Chains A and B, each alone.
Chain A
Amino acid sequence: MTRWAAIVSATLLVALWISLVAGPGDVSHGDVASVLLGREVTALQRALVWDLRLPRSLLAVCVGASLGLAGALTQGLFRNPLAEPGVLGVSAGAAMAGAVGLAIGLDAAGPWAIPGAACLGAIGVLLVLMAWARTDARTSTLILCGVALASVCGAVTTLVLSVGIERWEVGMKVVRWLMGSFDGRTWPHLAIGASALALGAALAAWVRQDLDALQLGSDTAVSLGVDLRHTWRVGITTVGLLAGLCTALTGVIGFVGLVVPHIARAFVGTGHARLLPASALLGGTLLLLVDVATRTIAFIALPPGVITSLLGTPVFLVVLARMRTEIT
């Protein structure tokens, strides 16, 4: 674990440094160091590094860490290796709630209104899934339920968009919201993302022992002193908070929550005391690498969710193929 964490942390720091240097504008390694150390630099260099790139990169780390954490939590809660906010329609629920909020002008109520609506949308989907999983916890049923919920959420979002076509400004707001991006994200966005991650990490730490016990089934977990209702309440709220705010900040970013815990589990085992922080660390590193790659390689500004879906879908299918014998 220690060596693995050191390698991932080092990768994160290198990627963070590259993210501050790479991109348009005349910024050298020395300039970045000067900005970070508070030395004399030009206003443009300071603006590029301190006001634009640093908060954007740190936000990518926060969102990736949140999604990794949310994925590990969801898989632990549902005791299902394919459970993930994106796959289960939780992110779609957040996107739908945000889109509806924008369409009815909820954004005028304050900066927290749309992120709050997104969290409620995510929690709503999770509650339906939870009710379903209580009666039938099979993997296939859960995934199909997630697909159905994502479909419903997608239909409502499309409905909002079709109405939005008549009202150009609203339509554009909704489209921008759905696509998501790290572009233009600055310190206030980072403050929201970091707060969500800190709160989510604290809540996840609170239920980590319960998730460990759940590996042996819910009856055994209860016999070990786990209060399942409490665990579900805290877990669902945490995943809803993380997935909802991530969607609000950067749009729907799928598969990070699915892929990252699988990789982390291979290195640190199944115990959540290690798995949760490892998933957060790896998720943050992965999404920052995706952001650096899209900024330096892509010719157009790609929403991060596009890249993670392109990379994540094959991994999802590989996991699905490995599980083929278990799924009923």
Chain B
Amino acid sequence: MTLAARAITLEIGGRVLVEGLDLSVSPGAVTVVVGPNGAGKSTLLRALCGLLPLEHGQVTLRGTPLSSVAPRARARAIAYLPQQTPAAPGLTVRDAVLLGRLPHRSRLAGPSADDHARVGTSLERVGMAAFTERRLDSLSGGERQRVMLARMLATEADVMVLDEPTAALDVRHALDLLETLRALAREGRAVVLALHDLPLADAFADQVVCLDARGTTRVGPPCKVLSPDTVQAVFGAPFDRDDDGVLRLQLPDGAAVTSG
């Protein structure tokens, strides 16, 4: 396994968000973190990236405690996309993606030809090569998110952690992004992301981490963790599965919604 959490407990302001969580994130798999608002999804992702000091438990990267991995080495192994990225006025797409190469450079070195080549291939991979010289603040939400994905790819990290990357996207762009993430996982990366949309999480996850508002976590394959009973208990919303096993939201009038 690439990244593992052992008995981690996360608290904010005395409130326990996650208690005693064990989690293994393996290459080739997509792990989706779900939970109601305020359940601690972002906090968990930040802890997995080493951005949050842990008081209880530990996160290991290929067996080494993350807290003892040097910042740049950690950055080369784990790429992170927060829920919101500042507008960064004036920053071009090229420069934004080049930032993904920082962990590979010494402090005083400028970008190498290899760095520029990686930027090119990363932007091509997410279909944004034509936007290389555009300013980041001139792009739509979906385009920006793809550029941020290219920035993550440019780090060549084995683990990619994304906090609600589809939050500001319409369904088409959300699906495109999730397809890309699944393809990246199949190439051997470990992908961890938080999602609000339960049917999408059910469809794209190999492993689901479900947080509730009481610090309890459930980890496992989506068909087990996202059972209608669990979803009802955690989210207070009526879901069922159709004959093909697809997770659907039950509307009061009897209609069913598979994603939204």
A interface residues with partner B (beta carbon < 8 Å): 79, 81, 205-206, 209, 212-213, 215-217, 219-220, 222-227, 265, 269-271, 273, 326
Closest 5 CB pairs of A and B: A225-B75, A223-B80, A225-B72, A270-B90, A225-B71
Q: Which A residues are CB-close (under 8 A) to B89? A: 81, 270
Smallest CB separation, B193 vs chain A (Å)? 14
Interface size on B, residues (CB 8 A): 35
Interface string of B58-87 (1 = CB under 8 A from A): 000000000000011111101111101111
Expressed in whole angstroms, the Cα–Cα distance for A212 and B104 within the complex equals 15
Q: Say yes or no: is B92 at the interface (Cβ < 8 Å to chain A).
A: yes
Q: Which of A79, A81, A219, A270 has the most CB of B within 10 A?
A: A219
Say yes or no: B85 contacts A222, CB within 8 Å: no
Expressed in whole angstroms, the Cα–Cα distance for A222 and B74 within the complex equals 10
Q: For A222, give the chain B residue with the smallest CB separation.
A: B51
Q: Which B residues are CB-close (under 8 A) to A215? A: 86, 88, 91, 99
Given A225-B74, A225-B75: A265 and B82 interface contact (C-beta under 8 Å): no
Q: For A206, give the chain B residue with the smallest CB separation.
A: B107
Q: Which A residues are CB-close (under 8 A) to B78? A: 223
Q: Which B residues are CB-close (under 8 A) to A212? A: 95, 99, 102
B interface residues with partner A (beta carbon < 8 Å): 46, 49, 51, 71-76, 78-82, 84-92, 95-96, 99-100, 102-103, 105, 107-108, 110, 151, 155
Expressed in whole angstroms, the Cα–Cα distance for A193 and B7 within the complex equals 55
Say yes or no: A209 contacts B96, CB within 8 Å: no
Smallest CB separation, B150 vs chain A (Å)? 13
Say yes or no: B86 contacts A79, CB within 8 Å: yes
Given A223-B49, A224-B75: A217 and B82 interface contact (C-beta under 8 Å): yes
Smallest CB separation, A236 vs chain B (Å)? 18
Smallest CB separation, B72 vs chain A (Å)? 4
Smallest CB separation, A305 vs chain B (Å)? 29
**Which residue from A213, A222, A223 sits with its C-beta under 8 Å from B79?**
A223
Q: Which B residues are CB-close (under 8 A) to A79? A: 86
Expressed in whole angstroms, the Cα–Cα distance for A47 and B99 within the complex equals 52
Q: Which A residues are CB-close (under 8 A) to B73? A: 225
Say yes or no: B51 contacts A270, CB within 8 Å: no
Given A215-B88, A219-B51, A269-B92: A224 and B103 interface contact (C-beta under 8 Å): yes
Expressed in whole angstroms, the Cα–Cα distance for A212 and B100 within the complex equals 11
Q: Which B residues are CB-close (under 8 A) to A222? A: 51, 71
Say yes or no: B107 contacts A217, CB within 8 Å: no
**Which residue from A81, A225, A265 sits with its C-beta under 8 Å from B102?**
A225
Say yes or no: A220 contacts B105, CB within 8 Å: no
Smallest CB separation, B167 vs chain A (Å)? 15
> 19 A-B contacts, Cβ less than 8 Å apart?
A206-B107, A206-B108, A212-B95, A213-B102, A215-B99, A216-B85, A216-B91, A217-B84, A220-B80, A220-B82, A222-B51, A224-B102, A224-B103, A224-B155, A225-B71, A225-B72, A225-B74, A227-B71, A270-B88
Q: Which B residues are CB-close (under 8 A) to A225? A: 71-76, 102-103
Q: Which B residues are CB-close (under 8 A) to A326? A: 87
Q: Which A residues are CB-close (under 8 A) to B107? A: 206, 209
Expressed in whole angstroms, the Cα–Cα distance for A227 and B90 within the complex equals 24
Smallest CB separation, A71 vs chain B (Å)? 16
Say yes or no: A224 contacts B100, CB within 8 Å: yes
Q: Which A residues are CB-close (under 8 A) to B81? A: 220
Smallest CB separation, B159 vs chain A (Å)? 11
Q: Which A residues are CB-close (under 8 A) to B71? A: 222, 225-227
Q: Which A residues are CB-close (under 8 A) to B92? A: 269
Q: For B46, give the chain A residue with the smallest CB separation.
A: A219
Say yes or no: A213 contacts B86, CB within 8 Å: no
**Which residue from B72, B85, B95 sits with its C-beta under 8 Å from A271?**
B95
Q: Which A residues are CB-close (under 8 A) to B84? A: 217
Smallest CB separation, A87 vs chain B (Å)? 18
Expressed in whole angstroms, the Cα–Cα distance for A226 and B99 within the complex equals 11
Expressed in whole angstroms, the Cα–Cα distance for A146 and B253 within the complex equals 57
Q: For B79, give the chain A residue with the smallest CB separation.
A: A223
Smallest CB separation, B160 vs chain A (Å)? 11
Say yes or no: B102 contacts A216, CB within 8 Å: no
Say yes or no: B110 contacts A217, CB within 8 Å: no
Q: For B90, give the chain A residue with the smallest CB separation.
A: A270
Say yes or no: A220 contacts B74, CB within 8 Å: no
Q: For A209, give the chain B residue with the smallest CB separation.
A: B102
Smallest CB separation, B136 vs chain A (Å)? 9
Q: Which B residues are CB-close (under 8 A) to A269? A: 90, 92, 95
Say yes or no: B51 contacts A223, CB within 8 Å: yes
Q: Which A residues are CB-close (under 8 A) to B105? A: 209
Smallest CB separation, B233 vs chain A (Å)? 31
Q: Which A residues are CB-close (under 8 A) to B100? A: 224
Smallest CB separation, A294 vs chain B (Å)? 33
Expressed in whole angstroms, the Cα–Cα distance for A212 and B101 within the complex equals 12
Q: Which A residues are CB-close (under 8 A) to B76? A: 225
Smallest CB separation, B163 vs chain A (Å)? 9
Say yes or no: A265 contacts B85, CB within 8 Å: no
Q: For A270, give the chain B residue with the smallest CB separation.
A: B90
**Which residue from A205, A220, A226, A265 sits with its C-beta under 8 Å from B90?**
A265
Q: Which A residues are CB-close (under 8 A) to B155? A: 224
Expressed in whole angstroms, the Cα–Cα distance for A225 and B50 within the complex equals 10
Known: A79-B86, A270-B90. 7 other contacts (CB 8 A): A212-B95, A216-B86, A219-B51, A220-B80, A224-B99, A273-B110, A326-B87
